[in-house]
């Protein structure tokens, strides 16, 4: 039987869908209204952590969110704001690239704060590893941002255990989160745990030990792409056996298919926090039980979902 939970957010709302089109066309008042509707749906569903990145919609996702904050007195104090930096979008003849130079990190954070109309980020994640980055310089930039009160906590995104450990070795402040693609569809992080000493292990590709490193060091795992683009919750282009199983479990437990898919992630002992990327208020509200209730999936139900999604028996 599910029970209400009264702890920190179990879900984050990913804000990549806010702000209109993926170009530099100015956002509109309708885009602000849409962002406000998404924020209100999240708050109604028990979600108070909002995940941004400086590149989302060429900065417009942060900007429209800042407009929502300006409209709503007291809202900033009720929520947790997280953003990311480290990716530079293609510009002219220059391709997209990664940039974790200290000066770039500081500049991007200052620009995010301006767009978000706030003085402080609660969490800053480094969006992608930059092979040219000097971890000591990165650590200096993060420490400076913290000392100035511009960022409270720091984490990473899409990094493996060795990369996290190398950066942490240069920092006095703890890295508190690692955001990875994790879902019932994208399961390499999970398969890594059971494919040891099998022929499949070499093809898995997930950096071994990353989940365990995060667990051992108190690093929160955040799952982007957690709803798998609706693959198991009604997306017409993905009819399959697992979607039927998800629907049956949802009906039996009096909840939504979205909740079942998110409960599957939350049921893992790593304490995974799913990031839901939809900006559709109705779909956000469909995740309410996943945000507010203890996951109601038995040991066997969890495994049945996993085996169905992988399409073959465990090794």
Model pLDDT, residue 203: 82
Catalytic residue annotation: 56
Distance (Å, whole) CA 190 – CA 184: 10
pLDDT of res. 168: 98
pLDDT at residue number 238: 62
Going residue by residue through the chain (315 aa), what tens digit of pLDDT does each one get?
466 664 468 999 999 999 999 999 999 999 999 999 999 999 999 999 999 999 999 999 999 999 999 999 999 999 999 999 999 999 999 999 999 999 999 999 999 999 999 999 999 999 999 999 999 999 999 999 999 999 999 999 999 999 999 999 999 999 999 999 999 999 999 999 898 888 888 788 888 899 999 999 999 999 999 999 999 998 666 658 999 999 999 999 999 999 999 999 999 999 999 999 999 999 999 999 999 999 999 999 999 999 999 999 999
pLDDT value of position 8: 62
């Amino acid at each position: 039987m599910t029970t209400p939970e009264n702890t920190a957010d179990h879900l984050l709302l990913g804000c990549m869908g806010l702000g209109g089109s993926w170009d530099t066309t100015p956002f509109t008042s309708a885009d602000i209204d849409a962002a406000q509707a998404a924020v209100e749906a999240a708050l109604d569903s028990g979600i108070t952590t909002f995940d941004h990145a400086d590149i989302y919609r060429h900065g417009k996702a942060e900007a429209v969110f800042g407009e929502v904050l300006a409209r709503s007195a007291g809202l900033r104090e009720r929520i947790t704001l997280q953003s990311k930096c480290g990716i530079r979008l293609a510009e002219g003849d220059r391709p997209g690239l990664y940039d974790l130079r200290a000066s770039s990190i500081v500049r991007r954070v200052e620009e995010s704060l301006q767009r978000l109309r706030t003085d402080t980020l609660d969490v800053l994640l480094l969006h992608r590893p930059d092979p040219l980055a000097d971890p000591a310089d990165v650590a200096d930039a993060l420490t400076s941002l913290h000392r100035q009160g511009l960022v409270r906590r720091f984490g990473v995104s899409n990094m493996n255990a060795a990369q996290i450990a190398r950066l942490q070795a240069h920092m006095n402040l703890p890295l508190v989160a690692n955001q990875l693609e994790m879902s019932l569809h994208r399961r390499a992080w999970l398969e890594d745990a059971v494919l040891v000493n099998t022929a499949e292990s070499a093809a898995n590709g997930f950096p071994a030990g990353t989940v365990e490193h995060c667990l051992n060091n108190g690093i929160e795992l955040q799952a982007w792409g957690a709803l798998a683009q609706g693959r198991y919750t009604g997306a017409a282009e993905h009819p399959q056996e697992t979607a039927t199983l998800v629907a049956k479990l949802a009906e039996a437990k009096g909840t939504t298919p979205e909740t079942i898919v998110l409960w599957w992630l939350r049921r893992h002992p790593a304490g995974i926090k799913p990031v839901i990327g939809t900006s559709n208020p109705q779909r956000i509200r469909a995740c309410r039980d996943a945000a507010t209730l203890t996951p109601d999936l038995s040991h066997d139900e969890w495994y049945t979902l996993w085996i169905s999604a992988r399409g073959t028996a465990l090794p």
